């Protein structure tokens, strides 16, 4: 992932690194891939590879979140919206 951050890394090498991260479904690389995707100074093909890599990472990321259990609560990007109560009666976690 360090090679992606370097500006002197050739575009072909960046594409190969991004493809490898997507094939490995590396959820740790998601933030860096999003940063590359939003950077309009990057070549279009690099940004397109980020989209494809993120599409391969998404199912794995969803699975990790769903394995946390029913008591996981989050406000997400809309903190003003109310959080629904937990359906688990033994849950003592406060709303976050």
For the domain that residue 50 is a member of, what is the CATH number? 1.25.10
Range of the domain at 41: 2-66
Note the pLDDT tens digit of each residue in 81-94.
555 555 555 555 55
Does 20 map to a domain? yes
Does 77 map to a domain? no
The pLDDT of 53-61, averaged and rounded, is 86
* Residues 13-26 as b or e (16 or more Cβ within 10 Å = b): ebbebbeebbeebb
Q: What is the pLDDT at residue 60?
A: 79
Tokens describing residue 32 = 């860096």
Query: Structural domain tally of the chain?
Result: 1
Does 34 map to a domain? yes
pTM for this prediction: 0.61
Q: What is the pLDDT at residue 28?
A: 86
Does 40 map to a domain? yes
Q: What is the pLDDT at residue 16?
A: 93
Does 87 map to a domain? no
Does 61 map to a domain? yes
């Amino acid at each position: 992932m360090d090679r992606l951050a370097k500006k002197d890394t050739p575009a072909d090498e960046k594409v190969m690194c991004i493809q490898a991260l997507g094939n490995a479904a590396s959820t740790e690389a998601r933030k860096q891939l999003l940063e590359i995707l939003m950077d309009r100074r990057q070549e279009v093909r690099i940004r397109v590879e980020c989209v494809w890599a993120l599409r391969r990472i998404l199912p794995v990321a969803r699975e990790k979140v769903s394995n946390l259990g029913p008591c996981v609560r989050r406000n997400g990007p809309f903190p003003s919206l109310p959080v629904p109560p937990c359906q688990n009666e033994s849950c003592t976690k406060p709303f976050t």
